[in-house]
RNA sequence: GGCGCCGUAGCCAAGCGGCUAAGGCAGUGGAUUGCAAAUCCACCAUCCCCGGUUCGAAUCCGGGCGGCGCCUCCA
């Protein structure tokens, strides 16, 4: 049984899809006006993992992420840069997609764009006006929050508590919390014809329209960053449920945001906001202005991070908690992952099989096995059980990743105890146990979307000539060691260490790796 | 001011009333090694403070202190 925390009820609920066996997920995507930074990857990685887990549990999952390609920020950026909005949106969408691919997010089934759904947005808006939930005012159309029952139910706030807020066009609104469904075009802005004159969609409406078009008027999971609970999602529910007369989403899931930890104290977001409230301080304490704010691809390049390390970093804590960004932390996660990569090489040395080629079970039931009296396999089965229990509990990837480390340590111990690095100590039964253990590791890692393919070799240079030269050095060193000439042997190894190459002596010979 | 989240070892982090408080990074000792590297083993926390509930609390309740988020078209 999978339990999921629902923002709506503020409790963990047993997950039950609307339609048996099928799950629809809608996650609010980016406004494509600038290159993606690491913070944009948080939600996608989490929901990609959630989708994998649901598929693993036998559900047929459809996942939708919208692309907002018409918006104030896009207009501003376009005016600044001189790049037409459509072109800006296209290149930034490409950048976003490239980043998703890097971190292994490949489960998104639909990427609807706001500009492809203008007609439906207009219809939706008309419908709300017809039903009395919205009103037109001088070319704008506003949603009338006072007419929506339960307005505030998602973010758990009341209209009374929101008095005094509101934007610059408040005079056109009946209530300061009313929000635009349709915005009248200003000169030079992109616009579409509508019954209220030329204009463009408001911020929230595209999600209501596109989710209904693809997933239906009621679907299973609506997700996004915690920052979207209010006003974005609150307004989505209000307009969708007013329009359709039925619940929009069964479960609302919100992930914690990435923060720039080291900068927070110094820049002090809180006091400055309360006292000053100026633009600059609003940026303080947030990811903007820190290393994490730079383009994700640039970050990977400059810090030489494996994208998989970033994915693992994001999954190493529970999704609802905020994550502090720090280069050091990601680096230490990478150090931890090296244990796995070394094990995979070891596995190949011992069994002759490539870890990444193991065909692991894709669904839960298929991964179960009877360990019999095998001590190793009993523990493997136990680890698998604990991994799945963590995932069942509101997708606790933090707990699950811990189990993965325990599992690889157990497998390494088995290789040590049975001395399997020595070919003479190998036998079919032991190798079979090891293989089943590795297969389970691969099965569980697959759920998290990691270890699906080998990490890219570090910084080129592993060409044929390098290989030959390394073999020569290793051979020379082996001869020196045989002759007990350790001075020469150590000189070779130490010099290589300085070049960033590590030698590892093993029963079967010497391996080398680049740092 | 309103609503909400969080405070577990040097750092990160799981844990949601009851076995010895997961796991990672860093560190220390040991096995292994010619010496290393890697691997394995061991060690490394009475869970911010004060009360309360309970046979029993890191886990529940109240109060402090500290950090953070949203309320302002950031994922």
DSSP track, A188-218: TS--B--TTSSEEE-TTHHHHHHHHHHH-SS
Round to a whole number and report the distance in Å from the CA of A143 to the C1' of B62: 42
| Dist. CA A18–CA A3, nearest whole Å | 15
Chain A 470-489 contacts with nucleic strand B (CB below 7 A): 481, 486, 489
Q: Check if residue A439 sits with its Cβ under 7 angstroms from strand B.
A: no
Looking at residue A157, its pLDDT comes to 84
**DSSP letters spanning A77-97:** HHHHH---HHHHHHHHHHHHH
| Dist. CA A35–CA A99, nearest whole Å | 9
- DSSP-derived 3-state class of residue A61: strand
Q: Which residue is nearest to nucleotide B31 (CA to C1')?
A: A416
Looking at residue A172, its pLDDT comes to 80
Q: Check if residue A437 sits with its Cβ under 7 angstroms from strand B.
A: no
Q: Which residue is nearest to nucleotide B75 (CA to C1')?
A: A40
Round to a whole number and report the distance in Å from the CA of A514 to the C1' of B14: 33
Helix (H) or strand (E) holding A182: strand A179-184
**Lookup: nucleotide whose C1' is closest to A273 CA:** B72
Round to a whole number and report the distance in Å from the CA of A381 to the C1' of B30: 30
| Chain B, protein-covered positions (CB within 7 A) | 1-6, 11-16, 22-26, 33-41, 67-75
Number of helical H runs and strand E runs in chain A: 17, 14
Q: Which residue is nearest to nucleotide B15 (CA to C1')?
A: A399
Q: Check if residue A199 sits with its Cβ under 7 angstroms from strand B.
A: no
**Lookup: nucleotide whose C1' is closest to A223 CA:** B75
Q: Check if residue A163 sits with its Cβ under 7 angstroms from strand B.
A: no
Round to a whole number and report the distance in Å from the CA of A191 to the C1' of B46: 65
Round to a whole number and report the distance in Å from the CA of A259 to the C1' of B45: 27
Low-confidence ranges of chain A (pLDDT < 50): 164-169, 262-286, 288, 459
Q: Which residue is nearest to nucleotide B14 (CA to C1')?
A: A399
Looking at residue A90, its pLDDT comes to 95
- DSSP-derived 3-state class of residue A139: coil
- CB A42, CB A313: distance < 8 Å: no
Looking at residue A433, its pLDDT comes to 97
Q: Check if residue A225 sits with its Cβ under 7 angstroms from strand B.
A: yes
Calculate the alpha carbon distances from A451 to A150, A340, A363, A458, A467 in Å. 45, 9, 17, 16, 25
Round to a whole number and report the distance in Å from the CA of A476 to the C1' of B27: 36
Chain A 235-294 contacts with nucleic strand B (CB below 7 A): 257-259, 264-265, 268-270, 273-274, 277, 282, 285-288
Q: Which residue segments constitute the domains of chain A, with CATH numbers given?
A: 3-255 (3.40.50.620), 329-448 (1.20.120.640), 464-514 (no CATH)
Chain A 367-396 contacts with nucleic strand B (CB below 7 A): 390, 393, 396
Looking at residue A160, its pLDDT comes to 74
Round to a whole number and report the distance in Å from the CA of A505 to the C1' of B38: 9
Looking at residue A207, its pLDDT comes to 95
Q: Check if residue A157 sits with its Cβ under 7 angstroms from strand B.
A: yes
Q: Which residue is nearest to nucleotide B13 (CA to C1')?
A: A317
Round to a whole number and report the distance in Å from the CA of A417 to the C1' of B21: 29
Q: Which residue is nearest to nucleotide B38 (CA to C1')?
A: A504
**Lookup: nucleotide whose C1' is closest to A156 CA:** B3
Using the Cα atoms of residue A388, residue A393, residue A397 and residue A399 in order, give the sign of their dihedral.
negative
Six-digit token pair at A362? Answer: 């894709």
**Lookup: nucleotide whose C1' is closest to A286 CA:** B74
- CB A50, CB A395: distance < 8 Å: yes
């Amino acid at each position: 049984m999978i339990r999921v925390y629902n923002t709506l009820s503020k409790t963990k609920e047993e997950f039950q899809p609307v339609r048996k066996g099928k799950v629809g997920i809608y996650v609010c995507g980016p406004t494509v006006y600038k290159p993606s930074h690491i913070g944009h990857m948080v939600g996608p990685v989490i929901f990609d993992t959630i989708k994998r887990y649901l598929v693993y549990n036998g559900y047929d999952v459809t996942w939708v992420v919208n692309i907002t390609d018409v918006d104030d920020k896009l207009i501003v950026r376009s005016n600044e840069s001189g790049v037409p909005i459509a072109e800006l949106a296209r290149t930034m969408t490409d950048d976003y997609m490239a980043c998703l691919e890097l971190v292994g997010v490949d489960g998104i089934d639909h990427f609807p764009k706001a500009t492809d759904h203008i007609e439906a947005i207009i219809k939706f808006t008309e419908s709300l006006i017809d039903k009395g939930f919205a009103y037109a005012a001088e070319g704008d159309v506003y949603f009338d929050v006072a007419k929506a029952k339960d307005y505030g139910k998602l973010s758990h706030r009341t209209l009374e508590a929101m008095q005094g807020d509101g934007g610059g066009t408040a005079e056109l609104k009946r209530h300061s919390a009313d929000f635009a469904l349709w915005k009248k075009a200003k000169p030079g802005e992109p616009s579409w014809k509508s019954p209220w004159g030329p204009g463009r969609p408001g911020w929230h409406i595209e999600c209501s329209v596109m989710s209904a078009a693809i997933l239906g008027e009621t679907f299973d999971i609506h997700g996004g960053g915690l920052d979207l609970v209010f006003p974005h999602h609150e307004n989505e529910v209000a307009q969708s449920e007013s329009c359709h007369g039925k619940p929009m989403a069964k479960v609302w899931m919100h992930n914690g945001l990435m923060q720039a930890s080291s900068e927070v104290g110094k820049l002090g977001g809180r006091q400055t906001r309360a006292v000053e409230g100026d633009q600059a301080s609003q940026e303080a304490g947030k990811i903007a202005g820190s290393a994490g704010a730079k383009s994700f691809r640039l970050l990977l390049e400059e810090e030489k991070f494996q994208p998989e390390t970033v994915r693992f970093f994001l999954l190493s804590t529970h999704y609802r908690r905020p994550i502090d960004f720090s280069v050091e932390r990601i680096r230490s996660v990478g150090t931890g992952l090296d244990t796995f990569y070394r094990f995979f090489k070891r596995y190949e040395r011992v069994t002759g099989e490539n870890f990444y080629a193991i065909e692991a079970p894709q669904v839960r039931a298929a991964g179960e096995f009877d360990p019999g009296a095998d001590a190793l396999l009993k523990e493997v089965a136990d680890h698998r059980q604990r991994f799945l229990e963590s995932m069942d509990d509101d997708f606790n990837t933090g707990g699950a990743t811990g189990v993965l480390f325990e599992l690889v340590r157990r497998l390494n111990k088995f290789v040590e105890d049975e001395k399997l690095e020595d070919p003479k100590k190998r036998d079919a039964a032991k190798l079979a146990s090891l293989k089943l253990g590795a297969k389970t590791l691969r099965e569980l890692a697959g759920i998290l979307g990691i270890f699906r393919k080998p990490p890219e070799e570090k910084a080129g240079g592993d060409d044929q000539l390098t290989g030959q030269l390394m073999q020569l050095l290793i051979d020379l060193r082996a001869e020196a060691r045989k002759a007990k000439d350790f001075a020469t042997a150590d000189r070779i190894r130490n010099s290589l260490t300085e070049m960033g190459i590590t030698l590892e002596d093993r029963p079967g010979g010497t391996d080398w790796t680049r740092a």
